[in-house]
Structure 1
């Protein structure tokens, strides 16, 4: 695997975890940028990063950098992605990769035109368990998949100033946790949904606090999703077919799947499959990103992110919920 020079934008909690993964896989981190000089110095010292920038633009312009990692609030992803791609850098951006489908389509086209890798940090797409689950489904062990159910609920403190509820920072459940649920659903649907039904409850700041979403594909597979930011739910996904169903708990970083085979209405057998380590979730992300760069393509990962982005934009359009920067 080629050793790459990574430049990180942002020093929040997920950047700390990513820095540890980068140091494990890549051996070092070339540079980090943050507008807060004190936090920047502390982060660089803890993660053994030599080069620091209080101006992300200057770091992106550094010709020695191969990959830009973006761990900022959602609103800054789109301009930084464009800037990095135009500077000839591969990009790994935390979810949601952009705040709407229009932005996504633009950066997807730009990455293709530049011959660069653009990847979204949807953790579940990189967990080894999903390869096993997809192989099992492809082998026909669940029969025809008819239904996917997904729950994700967080209990965030009631703080209108927090980024989770801040409309100016693209807050709300859909963009914060909905990407995981939508990625899970889309992974196990054979086609991009062409029908969506949804309803929403708003937080006082005007962002989505909780929602219910139903998706249907042209061949009539369905997915049902429940999202919330003020009511804890299990991170649980269920994939149901004509011969059985799979239950996956803590699905963004899942390592275990419980399978129930339903030979008929009265007979069931069960099986447990395991793969990977939850603590290595971001290690898998780094390994995949560096493999994508080495091989020159991303195994279809960005195409799935495209579908997720379009589903979420369609849902938000139905709500009539817009951000100042849409």
Structure 2
């Protein structure tokens, strides 16, 4: 079995975490690419990576690279996804994967044509806990899904250079933390919402600071979603059924949930390991490449992107470079 060679595009803090935790029996990080050779070389030396490239195009031209992990700001994702696919590379891209569904459709088309794996590094779709929760739901004992509540609040100190505040690189709460909350909601909803209500406050730099979202689908399931980058809130999701509710705390990388039954009794559900969150993503992509079977959750990514497109349209929030 040939060892899969991974390349990393964009060498910030997320990429550092990825490289530091990378563990796969059938793969290794082979190359690191940045906009300067100095940064790429420093990163490669720190993480024991064989190749360092001073441009993304150089890395993508290396025939030994099989799959790339894209960790640049999300404003650059779509361009790099297309370049990677056109160079014959499988792709795992950080969230938010793209700016809009037009970009995602273009990427999905190329991936299908070239028979390449394209996946979003949305931890919710890869953590073992969520597959276990779906099994709990599937046995029918909880009854019909009724309501979902999910919140994500992060207090970011005012800093014009921080991506949250910068409209030039598609800053704001929605595309950074809101996508987690919406992905949680859509993961459990039986179908895509067809009714969306929302309100939002702008930050002074023109990005979305905080928002409330109400979703309803044709199955009469309702989700309330709230997120902000200027106040702490628990990263918590509650999924309520006729006969009990699931609570997932710190839901982006959760390995434990509770099931509270209607009679008040509580069960703990555990699966996976929070510290291995990125390795579940890596293993998932490696398995798809080897099996040539696509189970990348791109349908969920598509639905969440569609919801975010609708929200930004309702808010009148547009980015000039889309």
Q: TM-score, normalised by structure 1?
A: 0.96
Q: How does 1:122-271 map to 2 (within 5 A)?
A: 122-262=122-262, 267-271=263-267
| CA shift digits 1:50-93 (9 cap, x unpaired) | 11111111111111111011000011100010011111111110
* Structure 1, unaligned runs of 5 or more: none
CA contact (8 A) 2:146 2:221 kept: yes
CA contact (8 A) 1:165 1:207 kept: yes
Offset of residue 28 of structure 1: 2.8
Equivalent residue pairs, number: 322
In structure 2, what is the equivalent of residue 84 of structure 1? 84
The alignment status of 1:273 with 2:269, answered yes or no, reads: yes
Instruction: For 2:180 and 2:278, locate their aligned partners in 1 and report how far apart those are by CA, in whole Å.
Output: 15
Q: How does 1:38-77 map to 2 (within 5 A)?
A: 38-77=38-77
Following TM superposition, where does structure 1 have runs of at least 4 consecutive aligned residues deviating by more than 2 angstroms?
20-28, 36-39
Q: TM-score, normalised by structure 2?
A: 0.97
Instruction: For 1:17 and 1:258, locate their aligned partners in 2 and report how far apart those are by CA, in whole Å.
Output: 28
Instruction: For 2:115 and 2:314, locate their aligned partners in 1 and report how far apart those are by CA, in whole Å.
Output: 35
CA contact (8 A) 2:10 2:70 kept: yes
CA contact (8 A) 1:2 1:294 kept: no
Offset of residue 22 of structure 1: 2.8
| CA shift digits 1:149-192 (9 cap, x unpaired) | 11001111111232111111011100001111111100100001
**Alignment RMSD (CA, Å):** 1.3
- 2:288 maps to which of 289, 292, 295: 292
Instruction: For 2:26 and 2:172, locate their aligned partners in 1 and report how far apart those are by CA, in whole Å.
Output: 34
Offset of residue 300 of structure 1: 4.7
Moved more, 101-110 or 209-218: 101-110
